[in-house]
Amino acid sequence: DGGITQSPKYLFRKEGQNVTLSCEQNLNHDAMYWYRQDPGQGLRLIYYSQIVNDFQKGDIAEGYSVSREKKESFPLTVTSAQKNPTAFYLCASRRGAEGNTEAFFGQGTRLTVV
Amino acid sequence: DAKTTQPTSMDCAEGRAANLPCNHSTISGNEYVYWYRQIHSQGPQYIIHGLKNNETNEMASLIITEDRKSSTLILPHATLRDTAVYYCIANPFGGEGTSYGKLTFGQGTILTVHP
């Protein structure tokens, strides 16, 4: 069935290591998004992509990188430059970037860096 | 995107209507008002959206003021499972610009439904 899948649900990494979070959608959506959520806080936009091979920085892009080589995939790499990477990461997609389309979210990846 | 302002938290008794306000006084003519909710440790879920007219679906109703500077999400008969964080956001219809395609969330309102 159609949807947006994030994997893994829980991820543990040692400090100083890069880690890549997976986000896949089979909804044929053009736009995809990555958010970070800290305990008790709202969602903050990291990167977004309106179309394949194109992406833009969100509000907190420092220490993160993305790629959009395929329409259905938008992986997020948390680099060692990210000062405080432990957080809940959410991926979303929309049919298009226009304003009258709703976003669909994955179930999130909880990253813990020790 | 227009900035939205919501109360930090609200309470509601089970079975009663929950009315969640949102202020978006800087909203532009091409921005839709969207509502999502997030149950603890899950991804947000779309509820409803509107541009000018009031909207209703199986989950909720959305009342938008005539000047479009504020809106209210109404859950007509709140249940314990409606306890969640509710986000109101304004999203451009389209066109070029620095915020085209950007989808930003605020802090939301924590709604607690009690027995």
List of residues 6+ apart from B96 with CB closer than 8 A: none
Q: Which residue of A has its CA nearest to B50?
A: A100
Average pLDDT over residues B67-81: 96
What value, to the nearest 5°, has the Cα angle with vertex B114 and ends B109 and B115? 160
Contact A105 B44 (CB under 8 A): yes
Question: How do residues B27-41 score in pLDDT, each as one tens digit?
Answer: 888 788 999 999 988
Alpha helices in chain A (DSSP H): none
- Give the pLDDT band (50/70/90) at residue A13: very high
Does B43 contact A108 at a Cβ distance shorter than 8 Å?
yes
Distance of CA A11 to the CA centre of its chain: 14
Evaluate whether A70 touches A93 at the Cβ level (below 8 Å).
Answer: no
- With contact defined as beta carbons under 8 Å apart, do A8 and A107 qualify? no
CA angle B82, B89, B37 (to 5 degrees): 15
C-alpha to C-alpha distance for A8 and A27, rounded to whole angstroms = 20
- Cα radius of gyration (chain B): 14
Q: Tell me the pLDDT band of B98, cut-offs 50, 70 and 90.
A: very low
Give me the amino acid identity at A85: P
Give me the phi and psi of A58, to 5 degrees please: -90, -145
pLDDT at A101: 81
Of the candidates B27, B85, B88, B21, which has an alpha carbon nearest to the alpha carbon of residue B52?
B27
Interface test with B, best of A21, A98, A111 (most B CBs within 10 A): A98
According to the model, what pLDDT value does residue B95 have? 44
Q: How far apart are CA B4 and CA B95, in angstroms?
A: 21
Q: Does B42 touch chain A (CB under 8 A)?
A: yes
Is residue B7 scored above 80 in pLDDT? yes
Instruction: Using alpha carbons, select from A106, A96, A42 the residue that is nearest to residue B105.
Output: A42
Residues A16-67 have pLDDT tens digits of 999 999 999 999 999 999 999 999 889 999 999 989 999 999 999 999 999 9
Burial of A21 (0-12, 13-18, 19+ CB in 10 A): buried
Percent of chain A with pLDDT over 90: 81
- Measured CA to CA, the distance from residue A78 to residue B100 in angstroms comes to 25
